[in-house]
Chains A and B, each alone.
Chain A
Amino acid sequence: MWEYSEKVQDYFYNPKNAGVMENASGIGDVGAISCGDALRLMIKVDPVTDVITDAKFQTFGCGSAIASSSALTELIIGKTIAEALTLTNQDIADFLGGLPPEKMHCSVMGYEALRAAVANYRGEAWEDDHEEGALVCKCFGVDEGMIERAVRNNGLTTLEQVTHFTKAGGSCATCIEGIEEVLAKTNAAMVVEGLLDASEAFDPHQALRPVRRPKTGKSPLAIKLEPVTKAKLTNLQRIRLIEEAIEGLRPFLRQDGGDCELVDVEGDRVLVKLSGACIGCQMASVTVNGVQERLIEKLGQPLRVIPV
């Protein structure tokens, strides 16, 4: 059973703005019956002010698809078209108190229906940017074509890079095998085409080798040894290293409209400030963990990254 928030349940059991609208100014039809989701969004727009005065929906889909559609209508009514178009699928999910990762595509459908309805209102053709093809990452709706393009355009050679660029594999991680397959295939093709050096290409066998875990010294069986005298980092060196590592990660976060700044370092606590799309993002804790792992790797000491 999915863990639906109270609000998702409420919007599913008692959907607002469901039904057909007569004389709609714009209609957006998105989804596909093969995916089990389809949404028709109908909007009424005041031609003078450009304000969406009313919205209705019809949805073929699961509980969260119906709730997301209803939430979308609630979010856009009273907004100008320009304002409404600034909404993201995350806003729909947030409005509903969050959606299970596997159901995030329901909010994406709402986001796209709005664009389709606005295009229809303006008399434009709406092009969606999705490939026809099987989804690899279901959580973020990433298909094989999108991964392949990201790999080719950016010369990606690791799973982590693909996740940074496309989000694929960034949530439930069940699709990692599939992503690695696409990555290996694309890299191999790039090597043949002379676009990539064979030594850099993703090698699935290498990726599956065991990975060592940074020592935390917390095993109850660990023998207490005299601390090995090793060139200790000065505080300044540590902070510089931390700063460098965070700077290195920021471009990836910015791609998703988020950001992360170093605020302070207190002992092993690294205080950071998340901003932009990271705020209220369900994936924020995943991001923080990623930053933490990167820092531990860089410094070779246990650290805790704490968003403030």
Chain B
Amino acid sequence: MRPVYLDNNATTRVDPAAVAAMLPFFTEQFGNASSMHAFGASVGGALKTARRQLQELLGAEHDHEIIYTSGGTESDNTAILSALETQGGRTEVITSVVEHPAILALCDWLEKHKSVTIHRIPVDAKGRLDVEAYRKALGPKTAIASIMWANNETGTLFPVERLAEMAHEAGALFHTDAVQAVGKLPIDLKSTEIDMLSLSGHKLHGPKGIGALYVRKGVRLRPLIRGGHQERGRRAGTENAPAIIGLGKAAELALAHMSDEQTRVKALRDRLEQGLLQRIGSSFVTGDSDHRLPNTANVAFEFIEGEAILLLLNRAGIAASSGSACTSGSLEPSHVLRAMKVPYTAAHGAIRFSFSRENGDEDVDRVLEVMPGIIANLRSLSPFWKDKGAAKAAPNAAFNPTYA
């Protein structure tokens, strides 16, 4: 049976057309774009095309607003560190509590070792940003506000276009980690006030190890990596030509499939979500159902633990992911779900299904077929589960363990 891959927010399959576009640049056209000879020249032309393809997906005004990096994490690091250097006298960073570790771990480090003040804006139970707290945090000391476009775990969207305007009113730069949004949402950067945006190739059927940082024309950038003159001196190191070209093709394809993502893929996601809620009690959708990515469903199954669910799904040939503590090696469950005050008993059992254009109806059918059995099986093993509800229904037998 064909495996069911529903973990596209983790990574995607490289589109075969992108692979085909890349291949000649490993062997036939292997030159260094900086070289004076013909080997280099042909690569330079292909890079230019790739840059235009990505520019179009982003709706950027100029192609030189794109700086290629090794991926989303490098882009995020570059953006924030650069802002702290260029915005003299401003020593504060605003971000949200639900960002990706690429932002959060950097902010923790800046706070601890570089005396940077970090404002982490909270979210409500649906994962929506507290915009009022964001407005209050902005001030004359703010160097940059960095708020993600779409959350990787729940798919919840933040109003980044408005947040960028608010940042500018306070004279601060605005960056968005759009790793999950690019390729899934129509984006037109030239009509926004966003100063910087991070994206990653492998989230949109492009190769791993390539990403980009969009830096709006006029915004000063201090490179993270110094050396050669590549990317106009803003990111040194020989261009990863095959990957850049693969990302270009992936961007072109993402744009071509944008309406499919917004309609058919979204319908698949909705059918899965509704089907799971109908078939399985004590479960609920996390995140802001009205404002989220079309491809992401995050469903919490109460009183059981996510890794166990994933192992059983995997045995049934289904790949998904979880914000559970045990899958990550840390003991705390997802910081995103905890920030939304999802109870521990549910946060540990939250499963993320993330679709792509390569999924079909049969994938949804397969999950709906096996999931009720898996959940029932694990609940029968759980001390928190009693018949048709939480163990606390019977107070005498309430499960209240000692911490070990």
Q: Which residue numbers of A lie inside 8 Å of B, CB to CB?
A: 12-13, 15, 18-19, 29-40, 58-63, 65-66, 102-103, 105, 108-109, 112-113, 116, 126, 128, 130, 132, 135, 138
In the complex, whether B188 has a CB less than 8 A from a CB of chain A is no
6 A-B pairs with the lowest CB-CB distances in the bound complex, closest first: A62-B326, A62-B307, A58-B383, A29-B401, A36-B325, A40-B383
Q: Which residues of A contact B312 (CB under 8 A)?
A: 13
Q: A38-B384, A138-B330 are in contact. Are A62 and B403 (CB under 8 A)?
A: no
Q: Does residue B39 face the partner (Cβ distance < 8 Å to A)?
A: no
* A31 / chain B contacts, CB cutoff of 8 Å: 401-404
> How many chain-B residues does the 8 Å CB contact rule pick out?
32
- Known contacts: A19-B380, A36-B305, A63-B308. The answer to whether A102 contacts B329 by CB under 8 A is yes
Query: How many interface contacts (CB-CB < 8 Å) are there between A and B?
Result: 109
Chain A residues with Cβ under 8 A from B383's Cβ? 29, 38-40, 58-60
Contact of B399 with A by CB under 8 A: yes
Contact A40 B305 (CB under 8 A): no
A113→B105 CA distance, assembly (Å):
35
Chain A's nearest CB lies how many Å from the CB of B306?
A: 8
Count chain B CB atoms within 10 A of each CB in A12, A61, A105 and give the residue with the most: A61
Tell me if B73 counts as interface (CB < 8 A to partner A): no
Known: A31-B401, A65-B305, A116-B402. A59 touches B382 (CB 8 A): yes
Known: A13-B315, A34-B332, A39-B401. 8 other contacts (CB 8 A): A30-B403, A31-B404, A37-B326, A38-B384, A38-B399, A58-B383, A60-B383, A138-B331
* Distance A66 CA – B403 CA, assembled complex (angstroms): 17
Q: Which A residues are CB-close (under 8 A) to B403?
A: 30-32, 35, 128, 130, 132
B311 contacts chain A at the CB level, 8 A cutoff: yes
Interface residue B381 (Cβ < 8 Å from any Cβ of A): yes
Contacts A36-B333, A62-B326: A29 and B399 contacting too (C-beta < 8 A)? yes
- With A and B bound together, what is the CA distance between A32 and B304 in angstroms? 13
**Residues of chain B in range 364-397 having any CB-CB distance to chain A below 8 Å:** 380-384
B303 interface residue per 8 A CB criterion: yes
Contact across chains for B344 and A58 when beta carbons are under 8 A apart = no
Pair B326/A61 contact, Cβ less than 8 Å? yes
Complex: A259 Cα to B199 Cα, angstroms:
54
B324 within 8 A of A: yes
Residues of B with C-beta under 8 A to A108: 404
Q: Nearest chain-A residue to B314 (Cβ)?
A: A1
